[in-house]
Amino acid sequence: MEYRCARCHEKFAVADGEEAHACPRCKAEAGLEPVKKVPKPMMLFGVFLGCALVATVVGGVLSVVRGG
Ligand SMILES: [Zn+2]
């Protein structure tokens, strides 16, 4: 599990199942936030969105080429 210190923005890892107690850099005990990783469905959605965008652009160019 990764945490990020809200005070110095230091990122550090903590063993799974354990909680962060203090920032290894500035020793802050408060403001340690778990770093949320991008959920896989969201990543897939992003890839899908990118493909859809490319398909739209390519389709538009092709229709212009054929129509012209
Ligand atoms: Zn810190």
Could you give the C-alpha distances from 42 to 20, 35, 38, 68, in angstroms and in order?
Answer: 27, 16, 7, 39
What pTM does this model have? 0.53
Using alpha carbons, select from 34, 27, 30, 31 the residue that is nearest to residue 3.
Answer: 34
List the pLDDT tens digit at each of the 68 positions of the chain.
Answer: 899 999 999 999 999 888 899 999 999 999 999 998 778 888 899 999 999 999 999 999 999 998 86
pLDDT of residue 68: 66
Ligand 1 midpoint to CA 13 (Å):
13
What is the distance in A from the centroid of ligand 1 to the CA of 41? Answer: 31
Ligand 1 mean position, distance from CA 7 (Å)? 5
CA of 17 to the centre of ligand 1 (A): 21
CA of 45 to the centre of ligand 1 (A): 33
